[in-house]
Structure 1
């Protein structure tokens, strides 16, 4: 098969380059989300997510696990993006929605609701009626990883999905809250690609970190905010509390223009 024929062939979900070849051509978030769920580009993550979906956790034996990549969640005109890490094995990987069905989702959505950015304070399953106001939940890795630790290679393979997501959100996007250092490192090149200028040296992650990124074109500036990830390790030890999370989202809502 010649080079031209290879280039013209549609990317296969099992191919390592599937995200890089498929994501840029998605015209909207609905198409992007659908394409994400087909991806099988990272063999280790595919094996893990599917094994978890079969073995299940005892408390969820009656569930039919999602067991696929989990797309972003929220409206296409969101002014605020919240970038996490990856779906939890028995959270998003079970329910099929970001920050849904686990402890991290419980406290995150409770904080968003407290600020008026979520229609309810709970996030249990895809049909629970939860709606987000002006907020899009995203992640640098869309499959549940073993020990909640994706590799740098898996992050890089998955990056085109997040890159296209930020491009599609960019007309309305005014602020991004990044939950944890992994997400911070992953999102910086993505925001640069989407048209915002990064300072040199690059900003360092920290809870409460705030950076304003000017647009490289004629668009508006973007407010980049750092926050500890609402993992059990952080919330159970008190490193991150609900009032701390509410404060972050209150400020994010302010700079994103989401408060009346």
Structure 2
């Protein structure tokens, strides 16, 4: 089993370079590579990424969006978070409307998409079978989320969490990164908004928002609509200072 390297990266670019070589979870390694070999018929002529998918967005982001894990034929194919699948189509179109993305579509790495003051990441960086990582896989991958939060801390002001899995994964990471989590712990819900004070005087407060995940299960059934997502994006962007 290959563990994350002992050398701590000092930039997000260094972290991402280490992350894409991680092989710490045997089940996820086997699945992501099998999918990359077998492919979906519609993408049979493409070369799949088939590795851990790093976060996407600027290193000085004021807003962080936290999902679940890459999709087998989305991020695991394209190598970029929420790129090349229906969930990404829904998310990036709403981000474009909110002024957080340079274009409303995301099809592949190098398609020209630029995020404005926003980074997207996930608690699990490899595509899991049935889109369901285990708690052990989540905890093993936490190393990367810890690092990412540490590196983003100087500029980070707001976080949107897409779904309850990400919410539960993120709260202890935020506590360890220096934000005070109230007791009882905030519960996930769409539209939830909690301001977390810094645990020390030099730590700026952080605004935490909950949003239903942009999965087809939610968007196709109307549980999450474009306007519902837009409301959360705009509120989080305003608290992050990305909109006036």
Question: Do the two structures share a fold, i.e. TM-score over 0.5?
Answer: yes
Aligned to 1:6: none
Provide the rounded CA distance (Å) in 1 between the counterparts of 2:213 and 2:243. Answer: 23
Map of 1:73-222 to 2, 5 A cutoff?
73-217=56-200, 218-222=202-206
Aligned partner (choices 238, 245, 256) of residue 229 of structure 2 = 245
Aligned to 1:5: none
Provide the rounded CA distance (Å) in 1 between the counterparts of 2:100 and 2:193. Answer: 20
Map of 1:15-54 to 2, 5 A cutoff?
15=2, 18-19=3-4, 22=6, 25-54=8-37
Give the drift of 1:58. Answer: 0.5
Provide the rounded CA distance (Å) in 1 between the counterparts of 2:212 and 2:181. Answer: 21
Give the drift of 1:175. Answer: 0.3
Provide the rounded CA distance (Å) in 2 between the counterparts of 1:164 and 1:78. Answer: 15
Give the drift of 1:47. Answer: 0.3
Unaligned runs of at least 5 residues, structure 2: none
Provide the rounded CA distance (Å) in 1 between the counterparts of 2:226 and 2:37. Answer: 33
Aligned to 1:71: 54
| Structure 1 residue ranges, 4+ long, deviating more than 3 angstroms after superposition | none
Deviations along 1:30-59, one digit per CA (max 9) or x if unpaired, are 000011100000000000000000000000
Provide the rounded CA distance (Å) in 2 between the counterparts of 1:243 and 1:55. Answer: 37
Q: Compare CA radii of gyration and give the structure with the larger one.
A: 1
Q: What TM-score, normalized to structure 1?
A: 0.92
Give the drift of 1:219. Answer: 1.5
Give the drift of 1:127. Answer: 1.1
Q: What CA RMSD, in Å, does the superposition of the two structures yield over aligned residues? A: 0.9
Instruction: Tell me the number of residue pairs that the alignment of Structure 1 and Structure 2 aligns.
Output: 243
